[in-house]
Structure 1
């Protein structure tokens, strides 16, 4: 079975057992490790992988061929994307400025656009897509005016001497009371997604039961990340919604995409397509 997910600790933690043949009855995986911008694009291809981790923001483009799997994704509270700058600024200072983002079809960028529509008069200027690990250096070096960052950048941005303008997760939670819908697992509609969900949950259960067993694998793919940062990343992004989206998780995804569709930021969206 072909699968694509990011090399980030939350994904490698969840899928370690399945990748290493530790989930009884699960098929062998052929894994593509790629940043979210790449997996979002892979999901649009007719020959895309059987299972993928993509941004929740990319779902409206792929739900005709892929179905949402009710586990394995990345949702939660206190784990949202940040807008970082080289010097302290206020929201109005972003007007007309150049901003680096990790993907045009990322939840981070969708939250960014929803937030800027009410806080940055006239909007920002040029948007530049970069791999997420290149964004903070670009802000520090002045190649961009601001950066939209995700993942472990929440923990490491002070090391670059950068300043947080806004935590978009805090803004979303205050505005909606819902968790932040970052990433989702999808599977081809020709496959039995409940069986796939069972394999993912078994892999996650193994990870939670044997948390140190996956650490070598996690650090191998985490671009030389400090082990303590990797563990903090996992604690933040692997949670109850990873095991089961539930009504709260689906409501979060549906609310985000319904709002975005009303703003014309994504194609028309029917929340029933998440079932």
Structure 2
């Protein structure tokens, strides 16, 4: 049996998608999995070091690992309403971001890449764990914060104000969905193994969509926010048809972001082909 080191975040969208796969709900077809969970920026670092066989990856970090990894067509976080949010404690306008100290969830995150593309003069940044950013802004350690994951749904209840929705800005500017993250697999694995894993992940996602209550305990065990409505709002925002299969529209979204980052000198050029041939 072939054992794969599989990394993903503890966020509800990932635990929802991977639940059936890692809990032997599906016939694994000769594959087994050693699962490791970590914050997305930590997963980016581990992938750059070449540690996992399969990993969740920020699309912004993919060029740095593309020599050794390719993207699956299943498991991506791509959509039209799922972009990162810039928030502040006091009223702040987008054209004032160049003066603000902004708390970001990691230099290699897609959120930071979108901020750099859309607001290139907003250069005063400090890295924090994504789950700490709301409190950092509330405590005045930063003027603004770049929110991802569950914190998109909780900031208003804590008294923070929306400065800018980077996802809406990106869709308006480029006319393609926002490609936040994907699943990368080691290129050196046999083609049959890579294709088999992609099929299993796609089936795992379809199973979770058909029986959405089944992964709840697993999601709650690892989530930052335990409120059930927040967990499912998170899943509904990030898990969609693009997660089952990127299709041409999802692939174009990723290609557009990587090209924009490369053209602006923010990313290295990614090795091609970008995607697993399924």
- TM-score with structure 1 setting the length: 0.94
- Tell me, yes or no, if the aligned pair for 2:116 and 2:122 is still in contact at 8 Å: no
Match of 1:159 in 2: 157
- Tell me, yes or no, if the aligned pair for 1:9 and 1:233 is still in contact at 8 Å: yes
- Tell me, yes or no, if the aligned pair for 1:86 and 1:145 is still in contact at 8 Å: yes
Match of 1:170 in 2: 168
Distance between the aligned counterparts of 2:22 and 2:274, measured in 1?
Answer: 29
Distance between the aligned counterparts of 2:96 and 2:177, measured in 1?
Answer: 28
Output the aligned Cα RMSD.
Answer: 1.4
- Tell me, yes or no, if the aligned pair for 1:67 and 1:193 is still in contact at 8 Å: no
Match of 1:266 in 2: 267
Identify if the C-alpha distance between structure 1 residues 255 and 125 changes in structure 2 by more than 3 Å, giving closer, same or farther: closer
Q: CA deviation at 1:125?
A: 4.6
After the TM superposition, which segments of 4 or more aligned residues of structure 1 sit over 3 Å from their partners?
A: 269-275
Distance between the aligned counterparts of 2:247 and 2:79, measured in 1?
Answer: 12
Match of 1:231 in 2: 232
- Tell me, yes or no, if the aligned pair for 1:258 and 1:271 is still in contact at 8 Å: no
Deviations 1:204-258 (A, max 9, x none): 1221121111100100000242011101111111000000001111110111110
Distance between the aligned counterparts of 2:56 and 2:186, measured in 1?
Answer: 12
Give unpaired runs (5+ residues) of structure 1: 118-122
- Tell me, yes or no, if the aligned pair for 1:179 and 1:252 is still in contact at 8 Å: yes
Which of 139, 142, 145 matches 1:144?
142
- Work out the number of aligned pairs and report it: 269
Match of 1:218 in 2: 219
- TM-score with structure 2 setting the length: 0.93
- Tell me, yes or no, if the aligned pair for 2:73 and 2:275 is still in contact at 8 Å: no
Give unpaired runs (5+ residues) of structure 2: none
